[in-house]
Amino acid sequence: MAKINWKPGNMIYPLPAVMVSCGTEPKNYNIITIAWTGTICTNPPMTYISIRPNRHSYDIIKETGEFVINLTTESLVKATDYCGVKSGRDIDKFKVMHLTPSQGVEVKAPLIEESPVNIECKVKEIITLGSHDMFMAEVVAVNVDDDYLDEHGKFHLDQTSPICYSHGSYFGLGNKLGTFGYSVAKKKTKKRKKR
């Protein structure tokens, strides 16, 4: 076995493929699919999305300074792809994909009702990098679908059937392999967790 050396490029996969909604009123609401996203700080909660300046959503988000990250699921995979290949300059993606815009708490940008987790964000800084500009943003509210809350108020994200994006393809998540810290958990704790 030998390693093949490739030219520099991004090979960090899998990634989330999220639907980012933006706009301040129905006539300029839009959705863009984004894979260049992630968490950059726990407290204050900060995230980023990187967008090419030629995207229709780029101007909307730059102007309004806000957006919503909507997590995607197996039932949203077609809409996720569609919103990543069609531009809001030409069509209303909410309408064509039968998605429902709903009111956020802290931002005017719409939530996508069909998504189980809607993360409201306010832009703090735009960093010019090259092909993409990075919109660093603070998370100002999180909305979750109460269908996935159990009787103790615990949210079961796995039950939403999340998807990820890996090297050009969409995948569902496979089996659960462990929980945070399981590799060092004491036997007793492990047993308790099994129950």
Ligand X SMILES: Cc1cc2nc3c(=O)[nH]c(=O)nc-3n(C[C@H](O)[C@H](O)[C@H](O)COP(=O)(O)O)c2cc1C
Chain residues in the site for ligand X (CB under 6 A): 17, 30, 32-36, 50-52, 55-57, 81, 84-89, 132, 165
Q: Give the separation between CA 181 and CA 195, rounded to whole angstroms.
A: 17
Q: Between 37 and 118, whose beta carbon lies closer to ligand X? A: 37
Q: Between 144 and 166, whose beta carbon lies closer to ligand X? A: 166
How far apart are CB 39 and ligand X at their closest, in Å?
A: 15
DSSP state, residue 155? B
How far apart are CB 148 and ligand X at their closest, in Å?
A: 24
User: Quick one: which of 124, 127, 126, 154 has its CA closest to 44?
Assistant: 124
Cβ(76)–Cβ(19) below 8 Å: yes
Q: Between 144 and 164, whose beta carbon lies closer to ligand X? A: 164
Q: Give the separation between CA 6 and CA 90, rounded to whole angstroms.
A: 37
Phi/psi of residue 93, each to 5°?
Answer: -70, -30
Which residue's Cβ lies closest to ligand X? Answer: 84
Q: Between 63 and 156, whose beta carbon lies closer to ligand X? A: 63
First and final CA of the chain: distance in angstroms?
43
How far apart are CB 85 and ligand X at their closest, in Å?
A: 6
Q: Between 40 and 105, whose beta carbon lies closer to ligand X? A: 40
Q: Give the separation between CA 67 and CA 41, rounded to whole angstroms.
A: 18
How far apart are CB 19 and ligand X at their closest, in Å?
A: 9
Distances (CA, A) of 194 to 152, 155, 160, 191: 18, 18, 22, 5
How far apart are CB 30 and ligand X at their closest, in Å?
A: 5
